[in-house]
A and B are shown apart, each in its own frame.
Chain A
Amino acid sequence: MATRPIKVLIAKPGLDGHDRGAKVLARGLRDEGFEVVYTGLRQSPEMIATAALQEDVDVVGLSILSGAHMTLLPKICRLLREQGLDDVLVTAGGIIPDDDIPALKEAGIAAVFGPGTTIAEVADFLRANVRSRD
């Protein structure tokens, strides 16, 4: 059905113990009409890729504060591709310096949302850029 909700995985890679931002985003996207799979703290790239595959999500939203984004985010993109999930839209949010953004986009991150981004902006971006599927 054309009207089925977009399914999003919100995951938090890395070792930091704060998931408030990720939870706010997860709830906000639910309120925007998305089906949001929330997986909690301290996710390894393998866990995230497995969850994305089993849940057959349209979007993987990665929330990261730990500073390890330059290793973790490209690794997640690579694992997704290796599992054939190259049509999944991958976005990142959290604290990511502007200088790092080009390399992340190169690695497969479609958009980086800075701290000031509103939920509505994220929702609009996802609706506009998600893959179309049968």
Chain B
Amino acid sequence: MGEPADRAAELCDAALAGDRRALARLLTAVENRTVAAEAALRRLYPLAGRAHLVGITGPPGAGKSTLVAALIAELRTVGRSVAVIAVDPSSPITGGALLGDRVRMQSYAGDHDVFIRSMAARGHAGGLASTSGAAAAVLDAAGFDLIFLETVGTGQSEVEVAAAADTTVVLEAPEMGDEVQAIKAGLLEVADLVVVNKGDRPGAQRTAAQLRAMLVASVPRNDAHHHPRPKRPEVLVTTASTGEGVPELLTALDRHRAAGRDGSAEAARLARAEHQVWAIVSDRLRDRLHDPGRRAVTEATLHEVAEHRLDPYAAADRLLGSLGWRD
């Protein structure tokens, strides 16, 4: 056990001292869920929590990568450091992936304060890789001021990004038709900011106006006293390809972060912690139940459920019981 831990400590020290190659290798270890990665995350987690994590989601082609590039340019003019995790889908059949977001974010070679990393989703649904959150924690510990998480962009509800980020930006391109349809209600629900990109295209302002109207209408009125106030996201218009509207977007991101400091972000952070910890608990339970000593019992139990000879609840009780767990 000493070896991976030693290696992790070495990589962590180097990455924290600003060695970008060590940082890149740590991220690989995290993606591959190595033993060294777990040791590294244990060490780095207490150092994370300072960066502003910003999720960028929305349909393919809306301009997510171009907008991230424009935000990087804006951040660099004011001397803030920035990292990007850009996720693209993996083929369920071959496991291969084509990671193309970097094409739009190329101009920062030699800038130590910009770090861009592509990630394949590796079978994980929800717009991110299962290790994207851990990768963000590593970049956070390494001291980046802002970290962008660009989702796969399936156009489906990629709500998972909201759990991974402090601020979630839902990006949309102008609608050609009369009505805004492309944004699923579920996606709007998680938006802290809604951005209509391609502001140079006809219909951008009209799309933004429709979204504003829709968002006001969707706020429930009757139970405002008993439930946390639903988000009422600001709607902005940008032209990522020219940078128009990008300074205003950055201001809105900063404002959202500052507002979150006095309370509302706490719930989001707690939800993120819960999500992370439960994922590990369930992984560990599964591993235990597949120990060489228990595997036979576990598999026999699953077969009994498959054949309807045992109900799933009784099966769960039996398996937990086999681990010594009693209620």
- Total of A-B residue pairs, C-beta within 8 Å: 89
Q: For residue A1, which residue of chain B has the nearest CB?
A: B32
Distance from A115 Cβ to chain B, minimum over Cβ atoms (Å): 22
Distance in angstroms between the alpha carbons of A38 and B102 in the assembled complex: 7
Distance in angstroms between the alpha carbons of A4 and B34 in the assembled complex: 11
Contact between chains at B21 and A39 (CB < 8 Å): no
Contact between chains at B109 and A55 (CB < 8 Å): no
Distance from A84 Cβ to chain B, minimum over Cβ atoms (Å): 5
Distance in angstroms between the alpha carbons of A88 and B78 in the assembled complex: 35
Which of A27-35, A62-70, A94-102, A106-114 forms part of the interface with chain B? A27-35
Distance from B104 Cβ to chain A, minimum over Cβ atoms (Å): 8
Contact between chains at B94 and A30 (CB < 8 Å): yes
Contact between chains at A31 and B97 (CB < 8 Å): no
Which of B66-74, B112-120, B279-287 forms part of the interface with chain A? B112-120
Question: Which residues in B have their C-beta under 8 angstroms from that of A27?
Answer: 98
Q: For residue A85, which residue of chain B has the nearest CB?
A: B21
Say whether, besides A4-B32, A37-B102, A32 and B110 are in contact (CB < 8 Å): no
Contact between chains at B95 and A33 (CB < 8 Å): yes
Q: In which size bucket is the chain B interface?
A: 20 to 34
Contact between chains at A36 and B96 (CB < 8 Å): yes
Say whether, besides A47-B109, A56-B27, A38 and B20 are in contact (CB < 8 Å): no
Q: How many residues of A contact B (CB 8 A)?
A: 33
Say whether, besides A5-B97, A31-B94, A37-B118, A50 and B102 are in contact (CB < 8 Å): no
Residue of A31, A51, A56 contacting most chain B CB atoms (<10 Å) = A56
Distance from B311 Cβ to chain A, minimum over Cβ atoms (Å): 34
**Per-residue contact bits, chain B 151-180, to A (CB 8 Å; 1 contact, 0 not):** 000000000000000000000000000000
In the complex, whether B91 has a CB less than 8 A from a CB of chain A is yes
In the complex, whether A118 has a CB less than 8 A from a CB of chain B is no
> Known contacts A47-B106, A50-B108, A56-B28; can you find 7 more A-B pairs with CB under 8 A?
A30-B98, A39-B106, A44-B109, A50-B110, A54-B20, A55-B118, A56-B25
Please report A residues at the B interface, Cβ cutoff 8 Å: 1, 4-5, 7, 26-27, 29-40, 43-44, 46-47, 49-51, 53-56, 83-85, 134
